[in-house]
Amino acid sequence: MADPTLDALRRYAIARTLFEPTTLPRAIRRLGFVQADPIRAPARAQDLTLRHRVADYRAGDLERRYPRLALEEDCLVNYGFLPREHVALMHPREPRNAWDAATRKRAAEVLAFVRERGRVHPREVERHFAHGRVRNYWGGSSNASTQLLDGLHYRGLLRVQRRDGGTRVYEVAAHPPADDSPDGRMRRATALVGLVVRTYAPLPAASLTYLARLLGYGAPHLQAQVQAALGHARDSLPSCRIDGVNWYWPAGENPGSRRHAVDDALRLLAPFDPVVWDRRRFELFWGWIYKFEAYTPPPRRVFGYYALPMLWRERMIGWANVGVRDGRVEADFGHVEAAPKDAAFRNALDDEMQRLAGFLS
């Protein structure tokens, strides 16, 4: 097989993840991981990602159907949704920072409370224990009971059973026993590296290294094994070198295949969509730097509060900030160059705005 060109890699990256819309369980299984974000602009990131890949998807479908699906809310390279077999690779999870004795005692009391009640909303825990407020990661204050629940969830002792109005409702977790032998840990780390490669391929070498480092969020206790698995991946995965950059992709896939044809659709993508997520790859493919600016002070924003990159065919031609006003979906567009003038672009944009309106309905 001849080495693919950069154009072929770009088409492969688009076609392999923007697959024909399917069912919700199949789409998440094929993606491997769907990153979550609480901001709605105009919908949460997980919904904006899934609408392109799930037939007849509507905003909020994942949250509504989650209790009946074999999925978990958990951490990988960030927080999101994964098939249960992927979550099992990371548990029992050993956080880098251990709780002190007083926190362990409070956490044990909360865990016993959840076990007794079956399912609990954070408000129930706070009413029962009145833990008060604590300083959070961002320097503000948070409910101490919520932090304990989050910590128990992270450690694999609780799971999210459902959400009520966006708030997690917890129950006691029952993860299958993990093989914690040296060989077992190595197998789990290898599977995790393989998972991120399948989710975000094709990957430039620097991005593969970065993703392995981010696995320290989902599997901090497996970092030595992850680094060993990363070295093996570099030696064993199919790869090529283009303009001084090494690229990697999963075994058995052919980036140069003519099957990776790109359709004529226009798509507004979530900031954490697999096509967009890797900012290094984004710049290599499309020649400009996209930034997520929701947490950037307004005067310093270039793209807007929640800019959705605009993919037309195989070109990333701009972005849109989308909102709903008086029941109508409206968008402010920005373009890297002048907006295309032809009828094909206008029709594709109209189709995407109609799909977006149906999704938000």
Q: Are residues 241 and 274 in the same domain?
A: no
Residue 186 lies in a domain: yes
pLDDT at 141: 43
Q: Are residues 48 and 185 in the same domain?
A: yes
CB 28 within 8 A of CB 34: yes
Q: Are residues 297 and 348 in the same domain?
A: yes
Q: Are residues 112 and 65 in the same domain?
A: no
Q: Are residues 271 and 356 in the same domain?
A: yes
Enter the tokens of residue 126.
Answer: 């706070």
pLDDT in tens, 155-188: 999 999 999 988 999 999 988 888 999 999 999 9
pLDDT at 68: 97
CA distances from 79 to 74, 150, 229, 292 (A): 6, 12, 22, 17
Q: For the chain, list the strands marked E by DSSP.
A: 34-35, 71-75, 79-83, 133-135, 141-143, 158-164, 167-172, 203-204, 239-242, 245-248, 266-268, 308-312, 315-325, 328-335
CB 170 within 8 A of CB 149: yes
- Spell out, as residue ranges, where the chain has pLDDT lower than 70: 1, 131-142
Owner of token pair 């979906």: 329
CA distances from 17 to 11, 27, 183, 260, 321 (A): 10, 10, 32, 11, 23
Task: Give the whole-angstrom CA distance, residue 328 versus residue 142.
Answer: 35
CB 11 within 8 A of CB 314: yes
pTM: 0.93
Q: Residue 207: which of 276, 281, 274 has the closest Cα?
A: 281
Residue 40 lies in a domain: yes
Q: Are residues 21 and 62 in the same domain?
A: yes
Residue 159 lies in a domain: no
Residue 158 lies in a domain: no
Residue 253 lies in a domain: no
pLDDT at 342: 92
Residue 96 lies in a domain: no
Q: Are residues 79 and 124 in the same domain?
A: no
Task: Give the whole-angstrom CA distance, residue 79 versus residue 36.
Answer: 6
Structural domain count, the chain: 3
Q: Are residues 67 and 199 in the same domain?
A: yes
Q: Are residues 208 and 80 in the same domain?
A: yes
Residue 277 lies in a domain: yes
Q: Which residues contact 5 (CB under 8 A, 6 or more apart)?
A: 242, 256
Q: Are residues 22 and 75 in the same domain?
A: yes
Residue 160 lies in a domain: no
Q: Residue 33: which of 86, 98, 69, 96 has the closest Cα?
A: 86
Residue 33 C-alpha from the chain's centroid: 6
Task: Give the whole-angstrom CA distance, residue 237 versus residue 185.
Answer: 20
pLDDT in tens, 335-357: 999 989 999 999 999 999 999 99
The tally of CA atoms less than 13 A away on the side-chain side of residue 193 is: 29
pLDDT at 138: 40
pLDDT at 114: 97
Task: Give the whole-angstrom CA distance, residue 185 versus residue 181.
Answer: 6
pLDDT at 357: 96
Structural domain ending residue among the three candidates 222, 248, 274: 248
Give the Cβ contact number of residue 225 at 10 Å: 21
Q: Which domain holds residue 52?
A: 6-90+178-248
Q: Are residues 336 and 198 in the same domain?
A: no
Task: Give the whole-angstrom CA distance, residue 238 versus residue 247.
Answer: 8
Q: Are residues 270 and 143 in the same domain?
A: no
DSSP letters for 151-179: HHHHTTSEEEEEEETTEEEEEE--PPPP-
Task: Give the whole-angstrom CA distance, residue 154 versus residue 151.
Answer: 5
Structural domain ending residue among the three candidates 153, 169, 194: 153
Task: Give the whole-angstrom CA distance, residue 286 versus residue 357.
Answer: 28
CB 228 within 8 A of CB 182: no
pLDDT at 62: 98
Q: Residue 330: which of 340, 321, 343, 339 has the closest Cα?
A: 321
Q: Looking at the DSSP assignment, which residues form a beta bridge with residue 320?
A: 308, 333
